[in-house]
A = this chain, B = another copy of it.
Amino acid sequence: MGIAERRERERQEAQGRILDAARELFVAHGYEAVSMRQIAERAEYSPAALYFHFEDKKALFRALCEQDFRALAQRFQGVAGIADPLQRLAEIGRAYADFALRHPNHYRLMFMAPKPMGASESLLERNNPDEDAYAFLLRAVKDAWSAGCFRPELNDPELIAQTLWASIHGVVSLHIVKREEDEWIDWRSPAEAVELMTAATLRGLARGRR
């Protein structure tokens, strides 16, 4: 009786078409600028059909975000093998910034969006470093902490992880927002800023003579 499976497969194919259409438009123009009607037209459905597969625009957006979070976590797997904890942290920062600057609209939806992540019941496994990027960072920090890499008065790995995250997030989010038409400030390249930021924070947090 493979007919239930076929129905389920067709259902997911339809959802996939909608998600693909939505992704292209969101990434190109951002959340607010894309309408459900545009998504529907590109996916070759009527606007109302989207509401059969997704509760509303926010839910559709949230489904895309989950894919993105998974992609980021997967990106981190590339640096999981680095033995030296501090060097691994530096590479995590670089990978994160690279992801953010390569997909600025994704990033905006993931970490700079005002609301629509609200009431999220994600099906990502939390605390699993393979799927949860924050858990991956936290583990690297804990490794470094256990190895005595940090200054002795720093005894809260969670705070350290959040600070490191915030440092790179600050660089990339500022660049994403201000990148367009802001001759007000003579911006340095994000790559330079990321390098200086990781060097500064890690040196500032690390124990020992420089």
Residues of A within 8 A of B (CB): 30, 32, 108, 111-115, 117-120, 122, 126, 134, 154, 156, 158-160, 162-163, 165-171, 173-174, 177, 180-182, 184-188, 192-193, 196-197, 199-205, 209
- A interface SS class: helix
Q: Whose C-beta in chain B lies nearest to the C-beta of A202?
A: B204
Q: Whose C-beta in chain B lies nearest to the C-beta of A159?
A: B188
Distance between A131 CB and nearest chain B CB, rounded to angstroms: 12
**Given A32-B114, A200-B200, 14 more pairs with CB closer than 8 A:** A112-B173, A114-B177, A126-B184, A134-B184, A134-B185, A162-B185, A166-B170, A167-B170, A167-B197, A168-B170, A169-B170, A170-B171, A197-B201, A199-B204
Question: Cα distance A196–B156 when bound, in Å?
Answer: 11
Q: A162-B187, A174-B166, A196-B159 are known contacts. Are A181 and B119 too (CB-CB below 8 A)? A: yes
Beta-carbon contact of A173 and B171 below 8 Å:
no
Beta-carbon contact of A177 and B112 below 8 Å:
yes
Output the residue of A120, A169, A204 with the most chain B CB within 10 A.
A204
Q: A156-B188, A204-B201 are known contacts. Are A174 and B167 too (CB-CB below 8 A)? A: no
Find chain B residues with CB under 8 A from A174 CB.
Answer: 111, 162, 165-166, 169
Output the residue of A119, A173, A209 with the most chain B CB within 10 A.
A173
Distance between A115 CB and nearest chain B CB, rounded to angstroms: 8
Beta-carbon contact of B188 and A162 below 8 Å:
yes
